[in-house]
Chain A
């Protein structure tokens, strides 16, 4: 089985721009979660989607949004980028039911200048 894939792997943007990141889960997985990883704040949960519905959301401003498609692929969008949004954005997939293991993708490294 192919693993979780994320595109792009690296991205450089300037303040005020917006960005869209993509995540393709493992085949058969219906849950996709997004996390932000920074040296200062560590790994923080952004949101989770299951069968196209957002089931859970972390404490991030409304500039961070996401969606999931019928094939379980997910995108997250960050609008009006700030310098502090520079981070590694990780997505993780799972079957989304009683499972406890999440499978992480390699991440998208976003740099905001």
Chain B
């Protein structure tokens, strides 16, 4: 089967750096995506790693290691508006995303 595990909750303070991990057990992923979802909102795309290594997009960076079946999302200079749920998702082809269990990030002042 395909499964992606994430910590259920992470807390941090404004201005800090936080890392959200994603470990997966599967084969056939073309890459790993990350999505952000605020309460009551729709998931929004943050980043995609097709290859091993680090991808940087502004305050957000994402990392993938296929050999370790592991990825992470790094959020820098945390802001209150970053409080949301974050999902990793494996891209399996034909637009099918297999989502992780999700991590709720709570940013405090």
Contact = CB atoms under 8 A, between A and B. Distances in A.
Interface of A: 4, 31, 33, 35, 42-45, 48, 50, 55-56, 58, 90, 92, 94, 96, 100-107
A100 B99 contact: no
Interface in B8-62: 31, 33, 35, 41-45, 48, 50
B43 A90 contact: yes
Given A33-B95, A45-B99, A100-B50, 17 more contacts: A31-B95, A33-B97, A42-B100, A43-B87, A43-B89, A45-B97, A45-B98, A56-B93, A90-B42, A90-B43, A94-B95, A100-B48, A101-B45, A102-B45, A102-B95, A106-B41, A106-B42
29 contacts: A4-B42, A33-B97, A35-B97, A42-B102, A43-B43, A43-B87, A43-B102, A44-B99, A45-B97, A45-B98, A48-B94, A50-B94, A50-B95, A56-B94, A58-B96, A90-B42, A92-B43, A92-B95, A94-B95, A96-B95, A100-B50, A101-B33, A101-B48, A102-B45, A102-B97, A103-B45, A104-B35, A104-B43, A106-B42
A4 B102 CA distance: 23
B43 A48 contact: no
A105 B42 contact: yes
Contacts, number: 61
Contacts of A56: 93-96
Nearest to B92: A56
A100 B33 contact: yes
A55 B92 CA distance: 12
A48 B102 contact: no
A4 B101 CA distance: 24
B83 interface: no
Contacts of A35: 97, 99
